[in-house]
């Protein structure tokens, strides 16, 4: 019953996380687009009122006229809409999922003895430390003189992101490492909103309410953090879906793959931000495509058939599958974390094993991510048995 309740909590939290994430990223992308499409106000009176730029758009059968003030209007309007709860709810629901899946189930989804053997509680403590230190280090850099040099700051940030990927992938299993990489970046994004962007907006609002000319510094700081957030977005979205792609997180060079995909995602966003401003060079997209192509080629599995004398009897494969896999992949799983077979894949019958031969080979031999966390202790010899059977497909006598 406990596993069933956890499944429902997972479903509802994941749904909420997905909905609020769309709302947050959608509004973020829209305002980046809007800033880059502002034109000087067409009416001299608007300019005198402090309007710095305007944009006309059409959507859903209606026309919209957006204006951006250089500082704040003389009279503050009511209501004044804030864009913050989307970010906060996305982070809170994401952290709930992280705790529910990766921390509560640390021995399954976070700890991998082949990477580093540790107690689940130790793994959770380290995971929390990565998240907290990630924000503190980033925020410290943003408040230092280094942030005044945009290109140097970007280079240092890239090195730190690479170090983060390396560290996580050398402490946790690949699946857990990738999701925590996304959580660190996502936490930085939300903390930027909570600690810098929104407080800066409140300072400017308070000054305008007092009839004072708002200090532009908080707005400048907020704009810098907002730009950082937009470049983090695509890498974070990748890590949210990365658990579906064992070919990346289960590879022996998983941290390099993660860095390459992160850079590719940031470069794609660079192009779209530049494109919003007008004609943009395709070079960032070309570099991103070449990076992804290089990763795809580098991690391609060896297509050579398994070698070795003799035949592999299906009964040997059946024994391995029943002993190592049906704990979870069965009509009646015995592992407490799985009330139903993951993805509906079951190996109770011989026909089911043969029908899933490619999946078994991919997960147990190529990526070696199954059994998850190698909970049932599948040996290299057993993986070799599956490998040889897959390539020879010898039927039982």
DSSP 58: E
How far is Cα 109 from Cα 307, in angstroms, rounded to an integer? Answer: 33
Q: Delimit the domains of the chain by residue range.
A: 2-36+84-298, 37-70, 314-392
User: Is the backbone peptide bond immediately before 371 cis, with ω within 30 degrees of 0?
Assistant: yes
Burial (CB count <10 Å: 0-12, 13-18, 19+), residue 288: buried
State the pTM of this model: 0.86
Closest CA to 317 of 370, 389, 375, 381: 389
d(CA 224, CA 153): 12
Q: Residues in the chain, how many?
A: 397
Report how far residue 156's alpha carbon sits from residue 159's, in angstroms, rounded to the nearest whole number. Answer: 5
Distances 397 to 62, 147, 312 between C-alpha atoms, Å: 72, 70, 11
pLDDT tens by residue, the chain, 397 residues: 677 888 899 999 999 999 999 999 999 899 888 988 899 998 888 988 889 999 999 999 899 999 998 877 878 888 888 889 999 999 999 999 999 999 999 998 999 988 999 999 999 999 999 999 999 999 999 999 999 999 999 999 999 999 999 999 999 999 999 999 999 999 999 999 999 999 998 988 888 788 787 788 888 898 899 989 999 999 999 999 999 898 999 999 999 999 999 999 999 999 998 888 888 899 999 999 999 999 999 998 775 545 555 567 888 999 999 999 999 999 988 887 788 888 889 999 999 999 999 889 988 998 888 888 788 889 989 999 998 888 886 444 3
Nearest one of 312, 304, 330, 300 to 386, comparing CA atoms: 312
What angle separates helix 217-241 from helix 174-191, to the nearest 10 degrees? 160
Show the tokens assigned to 122.
Answer: 């130790």
Q: How far apart are CA 44 and CA 148, in angstroms?
A: 34
Q: Are 38 and 68 in contact (CB under 8 A)?
A: yes
């Amino acid at each position: 019953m406990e596993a069933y309740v956890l499944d429902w909590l997972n479903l509802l939290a994941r749904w909420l996380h997905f909905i609020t994430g769309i709302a947050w990223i959608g509004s973020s992308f829209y305002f980046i687009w809007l800033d880059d499409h502002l034109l000087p106000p067409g009416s001299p009176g608007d300019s005198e009122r402090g309007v710095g730029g305007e944009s006309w758009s059409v959507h859903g059968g209606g026309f919209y006229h957006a204006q951006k003030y250089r500082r704040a209007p003389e009279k503050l309007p009511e209501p004044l809409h804030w864009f913050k709860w989307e970010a906060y709810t996305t982070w809170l629901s994401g952290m709930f999922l992280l705790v529910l899946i990766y921390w509560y189930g640390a021995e399954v989804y976070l700890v991998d003895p082949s990477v580093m053997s540790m107690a689940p509680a130790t793994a959770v403590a380290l995971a929390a430390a990565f998240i907290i230190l990630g924000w503190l280090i980033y925020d410290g850099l943003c408040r230092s003189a280094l942030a005044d040099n945009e290109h140097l700051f970007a280079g240092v940030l890239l090195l730190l992101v690479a170090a983060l990927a390396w560290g996580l992938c050398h402490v946790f299993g690949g699946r857990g490492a990738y999701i925590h990489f996304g959580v660190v970046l996502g936490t930085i994004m939300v903390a930027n909103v909570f600690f810098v962007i929104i407080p800066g907006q409140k300072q400017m609002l308070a000054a305008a309410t007092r009839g004072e000319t708002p200090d532009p510094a908080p707005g400048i700081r907020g704009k810098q953090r907002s730009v950082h957030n937009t470049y983090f977005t695509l890498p974070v979205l990748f890590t949210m879906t990365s658990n579906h792609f064992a070919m990346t997180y289960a590879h022996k060079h998983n941290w390099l793959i993660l860095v390459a995909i992160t850079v590719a995602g940031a470069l794609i966003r660079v192009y779209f931000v530049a494109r919003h401003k007008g004609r943009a060079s395709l070079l960032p997209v070309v570099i991103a495509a070449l990076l992804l192509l290089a990763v795809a080629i580098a991690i391609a599995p060896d297509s050579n058939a398994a070698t070795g004398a003799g035949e592999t009897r299906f009964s040997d494969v059946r024994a391995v599958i029943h002993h190592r896999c049906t704990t979870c992949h069965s009509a009646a799983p015995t592992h407490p974390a799985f009330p139903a077979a993951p993805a509906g894949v079951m190996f109770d019958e011989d026909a089911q094993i043969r029908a899933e031969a490619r999946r078994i080979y991919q997960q147990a031999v190529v990526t070696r991510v199954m059994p998850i966390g190698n909970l049932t202790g599948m040996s290299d010899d057993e993986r070799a048995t599956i490998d040889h059977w897959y390539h020879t497909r010898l039927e039982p006598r």
